Chain A
Amino acid sequence: MAIATARVDEGAAGTAERKKAARRTPIVVFVAVLLVILVIPALFAPWLAPHDPLEGRLAHKLKPPAWLPGGTWEYPLGTDPLGRDLLSRLVFGARVSLSVSLVAIVIGGLVGTVLGLFAGYFGGWTDALIMRVVDVAFSLPTILLALVLAVVVGPSFETVIVIVALLLWARYARQVRGEVLSVRERDFVAQARIAGCSHLRIIFGHILPNVTNTLIVLATLQVGYVILLEGTLSFLGVGIPPPSPAWGLMVATGRGLIVSAWWVSFFPGLAILITVLALNLLGDWLRDRLDPRLRQV
C-alpha cells in the first residue's frame, strides 16, 4: 500500500521516501558492516595493531589462536613461522592488499574503458586495431609477463600495480566494447547526433553512463581476482617484497603448514573471502541503485 501511494504521488516527498526505503535494505547494512570491519583497521592500522607486523620473536613462532590449547591473548590469532603476530599482519595487510587492488583496478579500468569505448563506437579500423592489441594482451602468459617485468624493474609495490593493470585493462576493453556495440545502435545516440553533439560528447556523455553498471560489477568482481593474483606473484617472489604484510603473500607463506598450523593461511584467506564477498554484494546493490528502472521500487 505504501508503495502504491508513493508511485501515484510522484512529488519530492515520494522520491525521498523511496530513496530511504532503498537505503534501508538489510543487505546494504550487512555490506556496510563488513566494509567498516575492513576499512577502519586499514586506515588506523598503526593504532589498532597490537604488535609491529614486521617484528618477529622466534621464541613465539607458530603460536595457535588464543582460544586453542597453547594460545595466549597476547597473540589473538596466533603467530607465523617467524613469530610475528598474525592479527597485526592482517590489519596492516589490508592496507597493502586493498590499495594494490584499488589502484590497479582504477588504472586498468580507465585505460580499458576508454579504449573499449573508442573501439565500439568508431568500429572499422580503430576497432580492429584496439581489439587485436586486446587479443595479444589476453594471449600473453600472465606469470611469464610478471616475471619478466619484475626482473627488469625489480619487485616493488609499484611493479605489482603495473603488472596487474596490464593484465586487467584488456578485460575492460573487451567488455565495454561489446556493450557499446549494442548501445550505439539505439536511437538516442542518433538523436544526440541530430541535436549536434560531437563524437566525444556522445561517447562520454551518452554512452559511458549506459555502461557504468557493467563497469561497476566488473570492477568489484575483480578485486578478488587481483588479491589472488597478488598472492601468486608474491609466492613466486615477484610480488610485494616479503617483509611487508600482504594477504596473498601470507596465504602463500602458510601453504606448507596447512596441516600443522592452519591458522597462518586460514585468517588471511578469510579476510580475502570477506573482502570479495562484501565488494560483490556492494556491486550488486550499486547496479540496482544505478538502474533508473529499478530505482522506484
Chain B
Amino acid sequence: MSVPLLEVRDLRTWFFTRWGVVKAVDGVSFAVGEGETLGIVGESGCGKSITALSILRLVPRPAGRIVGGEILLDGENLLDKSEREMRRLRGSRVSMILQDPMSSLNPVFSVGNQVAEALRIHQGLQGPGLWATARDMLRRVRIPSPELRLRAYPHQLSGGMRQRVVGAIALSCRPRVLIADEPTTSLDVTIQAQYLRLLKELQQEMRLALVFITHDFGIVAKMCDRVAVMYAGRVVETGDVREIFNHPRHPYTQALLASVPPLESRVERLASIEGQPPPLHTLPPGCPFVPRCAHARTVCRQEYPPTVGVGNGDGHRAACWKVAEGWDG
C-alpha cells in the first residue's frame, strides 16, 4: 500500500449522557489507500457507524463529541477544519451511503432533483448541463432509461434502484473516499450481489478509497482488501483479508468466523458467541471481551492488551494478551 488517502489515528468519539460517558469509539486507527477497500466488521453497537460519522464530523450533537485523535485526508487533519470547510468537503471529497434506501431519499422531490442537488452545491452547475450530468450519473450506476428516472419519485423505484440512486448522489461530485455503511443490508440477496459488483466496478473506475462497514463476512471476503474487526469501540484485529480469514488470532475474530455456517458440510448447531457486548458506559479496565472469552486469564481483567503485530509482518495486528504473550491453546 502506498501513502494512505484516508488515515484515522487513535480516534475517540465519546457520548456524554446522563448515565455517564459512553466511549462509542475509543482509540480506533486505520488507513485506506487509493483504490483500496477496508472492511470494518463487528456486532451491532460496537462503534462502526459512529466511526464513519466521525470521519465526516457528523457525530450526533450535543451528546457526542470527538475528544481525541486525528483524521487525515490527503495529509490534512479534518478535525482542525471549520464547519464551513467540512461542508465543502462533504459529498465532494468524502461521501457516504447509508443503510436504508427506503428513507435515504426525500419523498417529495424527484430523483433528478436529488441527484442534481449535490452537483449544484459543489460544482455550481446549472440548467441543461446540470441535468445532463445528473443523467450521466444515473447511467453510471446502471439505471435503465435514466431520462425517465430523472422525473420519477423515490416511491416509484424499487429498493435496489433507490440504493443505486443514493450511490449516484454519493459519487456525483467524484469523491476520493466513499464510506458505505451496510449499504446492502436491506436489499435481497440477488440485488445485493448486483449492487456489490457495481460498487466494486465504480471503485476501480474512480480509484476510490472505500470503507465498507458490514457485519457480513461473506461480503467482506468478496469486497475487501483489508479488514478491521471492531469490538466495544476498539479495533481488536486488523490485517489482510486472506490473513484474517485463514489465521484469525483474536478470540473474538475466531468466534465470529466460527459462527459463519460452512457451505460444504451440514451442521446441527451453529457456533455462537454467548452473551452480549458490554454496555459502553461501564467498561471494566481490562479487555472488554473477557466475559465472553474462553481464554481469559487474570491479566485480561486488569489491563487492556497492547496491539501487537503477528505473523510475517504484513500489517496483521491484534489486541489480545493471548497473542501478545504467546499463550498456546
- Which A residues contact B (CB, under 8 angstroms)? 10-11, 15, 124, 186-188, 190-198, 201, 205-206, 209-210, 292-293, 295-296
Q: Are B152 and A124 neighbours in the complex by a CB distance under 8 Å?
A: no
Given contact pairs A192-B106, A195-B169, A196-B89, enumerate 9 new A-B contacts (beta carbons under 8 Å).
Answer: A124-B62, A190-B58, A190-B104, A194-B56, A195-B90, A196-B91, A196-B121, A198-B87, A210-B107
A210: B residues at CB distance < 8 A: 106-108
The number of chain B residues with a CB under 8 A from chain A is: 34
Q: Are A194 and B155 neighbours in the complex by a CB distance under 8 Å?
A: no
In this complex, which of A11, A187, A296 has the most chain B Cβ atoms within 10 angstroms of its Cβ?
A187
Q: Tell me the total A-B contact number using a CB cutoff of 8 A.
A: 77
Could you list some 6 contacts between A and B, CB below 8 A? A187-B98, A192-B106, A194-B58, A195-B91, A196-B91, A197-B117
A187-B98, A195-B118 given; A292·B107 CB < 8 A:
yes
Measured in the bound complex, the distance between the Cα atoms of B170 and A295 in whole Å is: 28
Q: Are B156 and A296 neighbours in the complex by a CB distance under 8 Å?
A: yes
Measured in the bound complex, the distance between the Cα atoms of B194 and A38 in whole Å is: 59
A295: B residues at CB distance < 8 A: 153
Measured in the bound complex, the distance between the Cα atoms of B156 and A293 in whole Å is: 8
Which B residue sits closest to A185, measured CB to CB? B103
Q: Are B90 and A292 neighbours in the complex by a CB distance under 8 Å?
A: no
In this complex, which of B91, B95, B153, B170 has the most chain A Cβ atoms within 10 angstroms of its Cβ?
B91
Binary CB contact string for chain B from 85 to 124 against chain A (1 if under 8 A, 0 otherwise): 0011111100110111001111111000000011001100
Q: Are A293 and B169 neighbours in the complex by a CB distance under 8 Å?
A: no
A200 smallest CB distance to B (angstroms): 11
B62: A residues at CB distance < 8 A: 124
Q: Are B169 and A191 neighbours in the complex by a CB distance under 8 Å?
A: yes
Q: Contacting B103 at CB < 8 Å: which of A15, A188, A206?
A: A188
Measured in the bound complex, the distance between the Cα atoms of B107 and A188 in whole Å is: 9
B98: A residues at CB distance < 8 A: 187, 190-191, 194
Q: Are A197 and B121 neighbours in the complex by a CB distance under 8 Å?
A: yes
Which A residue sits closest to B84, measured CB to CB? A198
Within 8 A of A (CB), among B66-99: 87-92, 95-96, 98-99
